[in-house]
Amino acid sequence: MLAAVSTVSIITFAIAGIICIGGALGVVFLSNPVHNALSLVATLFGVAVLFIAQGAYFLAAIQVIIYAGAIVVLFLFVIMLLGVDRITSMASERSPLTLAIGAVLGAGVTVGILTAILAGIDTPTGQRSVSGALDPANDLNVIGKALFTQYVFAFEITSLLLTIAVVGAVVLSRKAKGEPIDLDEFPQPELTAADMADDGLDLGPAPSAEVDQ
Amino acid sequence: MIGHQAYLMLAAVIFGIGAAGILIRRNPLIMFMCIELMLNAVNLTFVAFSRALDDVGGQVVVFFVMVVAAAEIVVGLGIIVAIMRRRPGANADELSLMKG
């Protein structure tokens, strides 16, 4: 078994693993939320590389598209919406005791799982699967077939879940008490031609107020 | 190909870092990112077992996890924005009361 492991796959695993762990540590320990989000991208990308190394090409693609593309952009959008300074100031200092307890519990989780792995609890049973065998060269067909036959009910429930999530996001972001959005809440300063000229913008002569339709 | 145990160990480390992050950080956004870390570690585990058992079911579950994570992030970030609009600068410890 060990002789079959090629050097390339070892190097790939090592680099992707270092990227994953480094990004995860960055998410936890960096203080600027934008840096946290970018570290999260590093971890997600490393996981995508590991998906490819295991032949899960379709999952690697949607990992990059959905996670690194959509979800992290959503994080960055909220960070920018709320303001980076405000978010950074919100990170309260923890007491050393709390930090120690958190680190110990996290390390305990890791050590526990590693012990279980090394103890051989994960040994495959040897039973044939009921969902169909893998075919990395034909990844999308195999996943699609399982998704729309055996797991079709779960797939339909997923569409319901997404609908509920969209409705929930709309309800949460509405103004309270159902009043309509007040556009005067976001006053727009009136720009004059002189202001634009100060900013280096030259839009030519101001349009006449009475334009023939 | 690397054996699936190496992937499981890497996933355990990432999961532990994410769990420690949730316990350490008190910024709701960062806690959400740590949840994403843990979900990704679990996804990695699913794919490793999928390959070890030659079963496409694990990859289908990863697909569902990604969808649920996306829905969770949409709702969670909506809640965070709604909270921040009313109580700027709140952290997770100050949000222990379930009333506005």
pLDDT in tens, B21-60: 988 887 888 889 999 999 999 999 999 988 888 888 889 9
Tell me: pLDDT of A199 over 70.
Answer: no
Same domain, A79 and A147: no
Please state which of the ranges A66-75, A128-137, B9-18, B79-88 shows the lowest mean pLDDT. Answer: A128-137
CB burial string A131-159: b at 16+ within 10 A, e below: bbebeeeebeebbebbbeebbeeebeebe
The whole-angstrom separation of Cα A70 and Cα B36 is 13
- Chain A contact present for B15, CB below 8 A: yes
Cβ A59–B48 below 8 Å, yes or no? no
pLDDT at A1: 44
Q: Using alpha carbons only, what angle is made at residue B16 by residues A23 and B8, rounded to the nearest 5 degrees?
A: 90
Report in angstroms the alpha-carbon separations of A117 from A110, A120, B4, B11. Answer: 11, 5, 10, 11
In a domain, A200, yes or no: no
Average predicted confidence (pLDDT) for chain A: 79
Look at B19 and A13 and tell me if their CB atoms are within 8 Å.
no
On whether residue A164 sits in a domain, the answer given is: yes
Same domain for A79 and A139, yes or no, is no
DSSP string, A142-208: HHHHHHHTTTHHHHHHHHHHHHHHHHHHHHHHSPGGGPPP-GGGSPPPPP-HHHHHHTT----SPPP
Token code pair at residue A129 = 């699967």
CB distance B67 to B86 below 8 Å: no
Q: In this model, does residue A121 exceed pLDDT 80? A: no
Question: Helices (H), strands (E): how many in chain B?
Answer: 3, 0
Q: What's the pLDDT at A100?
A: 83
Indicate whether A141 belongs to any domain: yes
Q: Is residue A121 part of a domain?
A: no
Q: Is residue A67 part of a domain?
A: yes
A81 and A18 part of one domain: yes
Residue A34 lies inside a defined structural domain of this protein: yes
Query: pLDDT grade, residue A35 (50/70/90)?
Result: very high
Q: Do A110 and B13 form a contact (C-beta atoms < 8 A)?
A: yes
Mean pLDDT of A45-59: 92
Contact state of B47 with A82 under an 8 Å Cβ cutoff: no
Predicted confidence (pLDDT) at residue A106 exceeds the cutoff of 50: yes
| Res. A48: pLDDT tops 90 | yes
Q: Do B27 and A67 touch (CB under 8 A)?
A: no
Confidence (pLDDT) at A25: 93
Domain membership of residue A185 (yes or no) is no
Model-level pTM greater than 0.90?
no
Q: Are A171 and B75 in contact (CB under 8 A)?
A: no
Cβ within 8 Å, pair A169-B74: yes
Q: Kindly report which listed range (A116-130, A131-145, A182-196) carries the lowest average pLDDT score.
A: A182-196
Could you tell me if residue A144 is inside a domain?
yes
Residues A21 and A81 in one domain: yes
Q: Taking residues A47-67, what's their average pLDDT?
A: 92
- Considering the domain architecture, whether residues A145 and A79 belong to the same structural domain is answered as no
Q: Tell me which residue in A37, A90, A173 faces B33 most closely, judged by beta carbons.
A: A37
Instruction: Please count the residue pairs, one from chain A and one from chain B, whose beta carbons lie less than 8 angstroms apart.
Output: 256
Q: For A21, which residue in chain B has the nearest alpha carbon?
A: B14
Please report the pLDDT score of residue B35 as a whole number: 93
Look at residue A165 in the predicted model and tell me its pLDDT: 93
pLDDT at residue B64 in the model: 93
Quote the percentage of chain A above a pLDDT of 70.
69
In this complex, which of B12, B55, B75 lies closest to A168 when CB atoms are compared?
A: B75
Query: Chain A neighbours among B 27-46 (CB < 8 Å)?
Result: 27, 29-30, 32-34, 36-37, 40, 43-44
Tell whether A173 is within 8 A of chain B (Cβ). yes
State the Rg of chain B over Cα. Answer: 17
Give the count of domains, chain A.
2
Cβ of A75 within 8 Å of Cβ of B77? The answer is yes
CATH code (residue A61):
1.20.120.1200
B51 to chain A: which residues are within 8 Å by CB? 54-56, 134
pLDDT band at A187 (very low <50, low <70, confident <90, very high): very low
Structural domain range at position A77: 10-86
* Residue A188 reports pLDDT greater than 70: no
Among chain B residues, CA nearest to A150: B57
- Whether residue A9 has pLDDT greater than 70: yes
